[in-house]
Amino acid sequence: MENIQYKCAIFDLDGVLVDTAKYHYLAWKSLAQELRFAFTLQQNEALKGVSRMKSLELLLGFGGLSGLFSQEEKEQMAEKKNRLYVEKIMCLKKDELFPGVLDFFRHLKEKGIKIALGSASKNAPLILGRLEISGYFDTIVDGSQVSKAKPDPEVFIWAAQNLNIPCESCIVFEDSTAGLKAAKQAGMKAVGIGTPKNLPMADLVIASVDQYIPYLA
C-alpha cells in the first residue's frame, strides 16, 4: 500500500474503537430467546456493521421467522433490543476503548490529519461519551443522520463533505465487510481491522488502528 498523506481518517465505531459487538450480541440473543430460538456467536458475525432493522431481519431469518411479523411488531422488537443494548452500554467504561486508539489519535493530530466518525449506530454519541473521546472528532456521522446503511457509501461521503475534504484524500478504518465495501464505493482507502481471511476486500488489514502509525508519512 502506497505511503500517501491522507487528510482525513474516518473511523467506524463498533469493532474498531471498542468491542460493543458483544453487547449487541447479548441483546439480540435475549430477543431470540424470547422468540424461542438459539442465536449463536457465529451468526452474530453477519450482523456486524449492519443497521438495526436489517440486523433484526437477519435474526428472524436465522430463527426461521422471516415474513411472520408486521412492520409495527418488528419496530417494537427492535426497540426492545435497543433498550437491552443501551442498558449495557450505559455501564461501558473508558478502559474498554481498544488499546492504541488514543496513541493513534494523537499521531493523527500531530500530522494535522482530521478525525471523523462514520458509524451505523444511532447510539454512537452515547458510546463516545462513555469512552470520553468525543472531543477528538472533527466530525461525527452516525446512524441517525444517514438514510442509507452501509454498504452504501453515504455515511463516509457525509463525513468527507462535512470537512470539505475530497473522498480520495480519506482513509477508512473498518471491521465489517459492509463497511469496507462502503469505503471502496466512496473512492476512499479501506483499511480492515481484523484478519485478512475475513476481510479480503480491504486494501490493507491490520489487527488494531495503531498498527497504521508506521504508514503515516
Q: Give least dist CB 28 to ligand B16, A.
A: 9
Q: Which residues are catalytically annotated?
A: 12, 14
What does the alpha-carbon distance between residue 42 and residue 46 come to, in Å, rounded to a whole number? 8
Residue nearest to Mg ion (CB): 15
Instruction: Give the three-state DSSP class for 191.
Output: strand
Residues 6+ apart with CB under 8 A from 83: none
Q: How is the beta sheet containing 139-141 ordered, strand by strand?
A: 139-141, 114-118, 8-11, 170-174, 189-193, 204-206
Backbone angles phi, psi at 3, to 5 degrees: -95, 70
Q: Does 192 bind Mg ion (CB under 5 A)?
A: no
Q: Does 142 bind Mg ion (CB under 5 A)?
A: no
Closer by beta carbon to Mg ion, 8 or else 117 = 117
Q: Give least dist CB 49 to ligand B16, A.
A: 4
From ligand B16, Mg ion, none, interface partner of 121 (C-beta below 5 to 8 A by class): ligand B16
From ligand B16, Mg ion, none, interface partner of 50 (C-beta below 5 to 8 A by class): ligand B16
From ligand B16, Mg ion, none, interface partner of 7 (C-beta below 5 to 8 A by class): none
Q: Which helix (H) or strand (E) holds 115?
A: strand 114-118
Site for Mg ion in 169-188 (CB under 5 A): 175-176
Q: Does 14 bind Mg ion (CB under 5 A)?
A: yes
What does the alpha-carbon distance between residue 158 and residue 47 come to, in Å, rounded to a whole number? 23
Residue owning grid cell 452500554: 89
Closer by beta carbon to ligand B16, 19 or else 138 = 19
Site for Mg ion in 44-103 (CB under 5 A): 49
Question: Which residue ranges make up the site for ligand B16 (CB under 6 A)?
Answer: 12-15, 24, 47-52, 55, 82, 119-123, 143, 176
Question: In a 10 Å sphere around its CB, with 0-12 CB exposed, 13-18 middle and 19+ buried, how is residue 127 labelled?
Answer: buried
